[in-house]
Amino acid sequence: MHVFITGASGWIGTALTRELVAAGHTVTGLARSEASAGKIRALGASAVLGDMDDHDLIVSEAAKADATAHLAFTLDFAAFDETVENELRLIAKLDSALAGSGKAVIAASGTPILEGRLATEADHLDPAGPAGARAKTADAVLALSQNGIRSALVRMPRTVHGEGDRNGLIAALVGLDRQLGTAAYVGDGSNRWPAVHIGDAGRLFFLALGKAPAGAVLHAVGEEGVPMRDVAEVISQKTGLPAAAVDPEQLGVFGTLLGGDQPAANTVTRQLVGWEPTGPTLLDDLEAGYYTS
């Protein structure tokens, strides 16, 4: 199988590229710089230079491939709406180019936040919610399945953790804790975040490219919900910072995420593609010092 990946040099893209190359597949990754291209080539894949504005290039590479994994997204809050609109235009062009081909287009998204209950693969993203800012993109990807494209979503939990994570929400939380002088949680800290190890996330994308039915929604959830007080206490042990409750308003947008109870299930995902998460837990990786050393 020949797979084209946007975001191939990123956190999840690197894990997926390793899985594909190890299994004997060929991979072409989109790279925004020569440095990123070098990382992709070092994994045993090919690289093409371009960014998410290069629609013709992306469509051409997707048309040449058997499957496409869409992982790239530029997180620029100052131009967030424009970024989403650009992505929607790209998906429309992929729809025209790949219609009737049966080729796979698997895109990353986020698990829903449904206060008070477990989010399942059947739940729709709330466009107004903290995890639903790209709900339009998610809907557009799933709509590709109506035109003879095997499209699917892999929805990611709040943290995709592991050694080398420097840009995820747990890394951001530890950095914020150091600024506050407190290993922070909200309320009594019983609210939960779903989590997955990076190796398990990469393997699920790999399985989705080969097996996900058209229109499927998968949850890359290794742990349904990790209590945030448990997270704060391990951060406290590793850094010496006192673990304490904080006013979420002190944390701005991050306060909403830190204080939300947002567990998510993976039952349907495991049944559809045979995925079984086996990697270390979030607390295991915190105990290992990956985020505090």
For residues 113 and 15, state if they share a domain. yes
Question: Please, what is the average pLDDT of the chain?
Answer: 94
The C-alpha atoms of residue 236 and residue 191 are separated, in whole angstroms, by 18
Q: Is the pTM of this model over 0.75?
A: yes
Q: How far apart are the first and last CA of the chain?
A: 39
269 in any annotated domain = no
Neighbour order of strands in the sheet with 26-31: 46-49, 26-31, 2-6, 67-70, 104-110, 150-156, 216-219
* Helix, strand, coil distribution of the chain in percent, nearest 5: 45, 20, 35
User: Coil, strand, or helix at residue 100?
Assistant: coil
Phi-psi region of 116 (alpha: psi -120 to 50; beta: other; left: phi over 0): left
Summarize the confidence of residues 142-155 as an average pLDDT.
98
Instruction: Indicate whether 127 pLDDT > 90.
Output: no
Range of the domain at 53: 2-158+196-219
Q: How many domains does the chain have?
A: 2
Q: What's the CATH number where 174 sits?
A: 3.90.25
Residue 204 has pLDDT above 80, yes or no: yes
**Confidence tier at 75 by pLDDT (50, 70, 90):** low
Distances (CA, A) of 196 to 158, 161, 169, 275, 292: 9, 6, 12, 12, 19
User: Is 244 strand, coil or helix?
Assistant: strand
- Residues 126, 99, single domain; the answer is yes
Model confidence pLDDT, tens digit, residues 2-55: 999 999 999 999 999 999 999 999 999 999 999 999 999 999 999 999 999 999
